[in-house]
Amino acid sequence: MLSSFSRSMRSLEADSPRRPVLALLFATTLILAWTAWLFLARVAVYEVSDRADLQVDRAAHPIEAQFTGRVVSSYMVLDREVKSREVLVELDADAQQLQLKEERVRSTALAPQIGALQSQIQAEETAWQQERQAAPVALEESSARVKEADAGARLAEEEAKRQDQLFASGVVSEVDLHRARSAAQERRAAADSLRLGVSRLERQQLTQDSERQAHVQELKTQLVQLKGQRATAGAEIERLQGEVSRRSIRAPVDGRLGEVANLRVGSVVREGEKLGAVVPTGNLRIVATFLPPDALGRIRPGQHARMRLQGFPWVQYGSLSATVTSLANEVRDGRIRVELTVDSNSGSHIPLQHGLPGTVEVKVEETSPAALVLRTAGRLLASPRSTSDSSRPAAESHEGS
């Protein structure tokens, strides 16, 4: 028994030096694996909305008369499907048509008086256009030389980097390293010089272009009086055309006529009188609100998102797949409005309807866990500083008061 105990003790003493080595190898492997995950793994970053709900735009658009007039024709029938800008009611516009004809005759009479100067201006503009078409050739040639010089500079810089690495490994001498660096600097200086030449050529072309433009403008100033008269006539023509067009009452949107007035040919309608209403086809969308720091600069149209509806656990029902379509540029009530469309392939079994609340998560980026840790640490370090900075002006203003 004593001999067996002695053999066991000797075996333990022989194995004891291996255990720290195995433990060290295991710990090193674990640390390396964790470090690789920390820097190489990609984690999706989501911004969560403050509030979100489903909305269907089915508000009725009223049809109103913009002028007082006599009804010439009416195409308004209850529950009839109409297209946007389709004519529904036509009002009498004979007086406006007569005035429009007179203004067109007056505008036509001015045309021969300014034809000669217009021909001269056209010739000058043609020559100007030819100069502008010829200018890019020289600019492209200079740009090509810049690209060639940039390529050589980049190649020399890469060579300098390789020499730097070889010098660190003791393969090349310090003289070779300095020679490679000097060559890279010379190539880069040559490329910068060519780039300055391109900039100078661009400025010269802009100067010539400005001189030609000034000459054309000088010719155009000779037509100020005639063009002023013609512009006045043209403005009057546009006004009359708009008035004639507005006497044709059109559908504001696509939809169905949900309400119509009893209109007969020859009856008179008053300005602002409601003649009916168009109920548009509803479009399902998601409207969410985000805090400004979470939305501005981070959420953009086209980003993928998902919506989790309240009352429908996402573990059981899943979430709605959506895409960001628009983002408000102004803050309202301390929030930013974001609109999204529900993807057609969402595959949700939830009975979607207007008013369902929930939350929206927008995927804004993919980054490494290390970047997330550093970003969180930076925010924590910046919070006390921003708090102290914000309290300092308040204290100074209090002292001043």
Q: What distance in Å separates the CA atoms of residue 3 and residue 9, rounded to the nearest whole number?
A: 10
Q: Tell me the domain boundaries of the chain.
A: 45-57+282-381, 61-92+247-280, 114-238
Which residue type is seen at 270?
R
Residues 290 and 68: their CA atoms lie apart, in Å, by 47
- The residue whose two tokens read 């609109």 is 339
* Backbone φ, ψ for residue 102 (5° rounding): -65, -45
Does domain 61-92+247-280 fall under CATH 2.40.50.100? My reply is yes
Domain 45-57+282-381, CATH among 3.40.309.10, 1.10.3720.10, 2.40.30.170, 3.40.50.300: 2.40.30.170
Cβ(86)–Cβ(261) under 8 Å? Answer: no
The token duo for 251 is 């559908």
Q: How far is CA 203 from CA 128, 133, 206, in A?
A: 17, 16, 5
pLDDT in tens, the chain (401 residues): 445 545 554 554 555 556 677 777 878 888 887 787 777 777 778 888 888 988 756 667 888 888 888 999 989 888 788 898 899 898 888 888 888 888 888 888 888 888 888 888 888 888 888 877 877 777 777 778 778 777 877 787 787 787 777 777 777 777 776 777 787 788 778 777 877 877 887 788 788 888 888 888 888 888 888 888 888 888 888 888 888 888 888 888 888 887 888 888 888 989 888 888 887 777 678 899 999 888 888 898 999 998 888 888 877 788 888 899 999 888 888 899 999 988 877 666 777 765 789 999 998 888 778 777 787 787 788 765 544 444 444 333 333 33
